Amino acid sequence: QAKQAGRNIYHWYTDDLNREVSHSLRLRSDLQNALDSGDFELHYQPQLSLTTGRVTGLEALIRWRHPELGMVSPGDFIPLAESTGQIAALSDWVLQTACDARRQLLKLDHNLPISLNLSPVLFKDNQLVKHMVRTITENGLRCDQFELEILESVMFGHHDRALTLLNEMRDAGFRLSLDDFGTGFSSLNYLKSLPIHKVKIDRSFVQDLISDQNDAAIVRAIISMAHLLKLSVTAEGVETESQSAFLKREGCDEIQGFLHSRALPLPDLITYLDRTRWQAENDASVTPDNS
């Protein structure tokens, strides 16, 4: 009977494995067509200042609306695109689309910097920075209106090469942030050597901030360490008022998360920005009466 059970588990396992392999083969071949068919969308998640409560920036997050599978998460297809080399074309599309969005938003008087996630695979390309600068200037925009998010973990092992690139990016005018910060064990000394402007505290520490004393201590330590180095701090994945209040008390500069908004398609983002601006103006106009 045990043997029988073992065999069932084995069958289960191979079925799952087969499903997974064929799923990823399927995605791989579909990825080729998706760019041509316009199946990708770029969504934008607002980042808010904890001091003013206003939107201070947007993070561009890619979405794949697969014709049969529905929404495929970037966590599933970005690694795939990185392994096939398609990430280069994908990133070009993201940058061009973000430039279009930035121009549209400017016309509506929403002057907000856009953050882009930069795949470490692109670091191999010697022309990367030149290429990005060209796209941005051809769109009549400036690099200082864009922020590049680099994974903290990427800096390890390729330190010299990455440092050269980061310096090149900063010299071109880009703002730089370390994404998923806290998961890569950066030392203070190490962080000091990087030409960055901001760290983004990883969502995993924010999630249990209120219930887990260790996470609370880590978040506090990251904020004070970053401020010592004159870096700005954004917390990702903020979902509740109590997380937001904790972060504000500890001096965190900005938050991003479902509490305020998910990543939105451009038309929805515009509605959100118009509404929050209207609220901010109304709040401002009632203040004198209260004082």
Burial pattern 104-120, b for ≥16 Cβ within 10 A else e, equals: ebeeeebebebbbbbbe
- What gap in Å lies between CA 156 and CA 261, rounded to an integer? 32
Smallest distance, Å, CB 199 to Mg ion? 10
Q: Taking CB under 6 A as the criterion, which residues in 151-190 touch ligand C2E?
A: 179-180
Q: Taking CB under 5 A as the criterion, which residues in 212-251 touch Mg ion?
A: 236
- What gap in Å lies between CA 274 and CA 264, rounded to an integer? 14
Site string for Mg ion, 116-135 (x = CB under 5 A): -x------------------
Q: Taking CB under 6 A as the criterion, which residues in 3-42 touch ligand C2E?
A: none
Q: Give the nearer residue to ligand C2E in terms of CB position, either 75 or 288.
A: 75
88: left (phi over 0), alpha (psi -120 to 50) or beta: alpha
Q: Give the nearer residue to ligand C2E in terms of CB position, either 37 or 193.
A: 37
Q: Which of 31, 34, 48, 94 binds ligand C2E (CB under 6 A)?
A: 94
Residue (of 172, 28, 174, 177) closest to 117 by Cα position: 177
Q: Which residues pair with 199 in a beta bridge?
A: 178, 233
100 near ligand C2E (CB under 6 A): no
Contact stretch for ligand C2E (CB under 6 A) within 31-39, 157-165, 217-225, 235-243: 235-243
- What gap in Å lies between CA 4 and CA 20, rounded to an integer? 24
Smallest distance, Å, CB 209 to ligand C2E? 12
Contact stretch for Mg ion (CB under 5 A) within 17-25, 99-107, 109-117, 245-253: 109-117
Beta-strand (E) ranges in 109-182? Answer: 114-117, 146-151, 175-181
Backbone angles phi, psi at 171, to 5 degrees: -65, -30
Are 235 and 73 contacting, i.e. CB atoms less than 8 angstroms apart? no
- Binding residues (CB under 5 A) for Mg ion: these are 117, 149, 179-180, 236
- Binding residues (CB under 6 A) for ligand C2E: these are 45, 61-62, 73-75, 78, 94, 117, 119, 149, 179-180, 203, 236-239, 256-258, 263
